[in-house]
Amino acid sequence: MKIIVLPGDGIGPETVAVATASLEAVDARFRLGLDLQPDVAGHDSLRQYGTTVRPELLDRVKAADGLILGPMSTYDFKDESRGEINPSKYFRKNLDLFANIRPARTYEGSGSRYGKLDLVVVRENTEGFYADRNIESGGSEMLITPDVVVSLRRITRPCCERIARAAFDLAMTRQRHVTVVHKANVLRLGDGMFIDSCQLVARDYPDVRVDEVIVDAMMAHVVRAPERYDVIVTTNMFGDILSDLTAELSGSLGMAASINSGTKYAMAQAAHGSAPDIAGQNIANPFSQVCSAGMLLTWYGQREGRENFIQAGHALDEAVAQAIAARESTRDMGGSLGTRQTGEALVARLRAY
C-alpha cells in the first residue's frame, strides 16, 4: 500500500511524525508492506513551489493507494491566483471524496465531563454552503454591494443519496441506528430534499432504525444524552460544526480522527485545524492523526479484502485506548507527556502487540 504523507502546517509536522512512526510499527507487526512517501502541501509548498498544492502532487496521489493530509492553515490561504489553494478542498473536490467520516468515543481514564458516547458523524463533503467547492468555476459567495454578501448553498439529490448510503452501510456494521440531522423547518427545499433522500435510501435497510433531529436541537441532545446516538448523517456545514462538538465531548478536539472517502480514493485527515496557538510546543495530541491513519488502513483492507490491514487499523485504535487508560497521553487527555513522548510510548506499545 503506497501512501503519500503530507505533514501540513502548525502542529501537523509534530502529529504526522507520530502517525508515521505508528504506521511503521504496525507495518512490521502485521506485514502490511507499506510504502510511505513524504511530499509537501500548505505553507512549505507555497515557499518551495509558489503554490500550496501542485497538480503533479494530485497525479502522485492518484497513482497511490491513500493519502495522509496533515492539518492545513486554511485561514491563511485566501487568494488562489497567488497559489493559495486550500489543499483540503483541493483533494476532496478532485478525488471526489464525498464522505467525511468522523467518529467520536469516550475512553476509560480520560476523565470526560460528559456521558459515555460512541458515535460517528457522516458529513457530506462536496457541496452545501462551502463556497470553494459547490460551483464549477469561481466561488459561490458574492459581494453584491460593499455592504451585501450573498452565499449560495448547493444541495443535489445524487450527493444526498450517496452520503445517505454511506451512513446506512456504516450503521449496518454498528448499532443499526441512523439519525438524520437537518434544518428543514427553515431550509425547506434543500434540507427537505436531504431528508427525502435519506428516507428513500432507508427503504433498502429495513433493519436500521431512523430518526430525524433539527440541527439546533441536536446540539443540546448530543450534550445531554450522547449515548443515544450511533451514526449521524448530515450536510456539509452542519457536519463540520457538530463533529467538533462530538470530538470535544469525547475528551478533546485532539482526538478528532477522520477519513474522507469516495469510490476510488481516501484521505486520512484529523478533523481539527493546524492549531497555531500550540504549534511547535510539543503539546499537541497526536492521536487524532494516528487514528485517522488507522481508518485509512481499515478502508484499504475492506476495499481490497485484506484482513491484516483491518487488524492493523484495529490495533492502532486499541493501542490508543490503552495508552489513554495508562495516562501515556498529552495533557488534554489526562496524561502529562509531550507529543513526541506520547508517540514513543505508543510505538513501544504497538511493538509489544
Catalytic residue among 244, 300, 317, 332: 244
Nearest-approach distance from CB 68 to ligand ATP, in angstroms: 15
Report the C-alpha gap between 224 and 16 in whole angstroms: 34
Nearer to ligand ATP, 178 or 316 (CB): 316
Position 182 contacts ligand ATP (CB under 6 A): no
Report the C-alpha gap between 294 and 281 in whole angstroms: 25
- Bridge partners of residue 209, in order along the sequence: 177
Position 249 contacts ligand ATP (CB under 6 A): no
Position 277 contacts ligand ATP (CB under 6 A): yes
Residue nearest to ligand ATP (CB): 273
Give yes or no: 216 in active site: yes
Position 7 contacts ligand ATP (CB under 6 A): no
Of the candidate residues 45, 100, 134, 285, the single one contacting ligand ATP (CB under 6 A): 285
Element of type H or E holding 215:
helix 215-224
Nearest-approach distance from CB 84 to ligand ATP, in angstroms: 14
Tell me how crowded residue 251 is: count the other CB atoms within 10 A of its CB: 25
Position 284 contacts ligand ATP (CB under 6 A): yes
Give yes or no: 44 in active site: no
Non-local CB neighbours of 249 within 8 Å, separated by 6+ positions: 104, 106, 112, 114, 117, 222, 223, 226
Report the C-alpha gap between 338 and 322 in whole angstroms: 17
Cell triple for 249: 465531548
Stretch that binds ligand ATP, among 88-96, 131-139, 276-284, 313-321 (CB under 6 A): 276-284
> 20 in helix, strand or coil?
helix
- Within residues 57-86, the interface with ligand ATP by CB under 6 A covers 71, 73-75
Report the C-alpha gap between 181 and 337 in whole angstroms: 37
By annotation, the residues acting in catalysis are 130, 183, 216, 240, 244
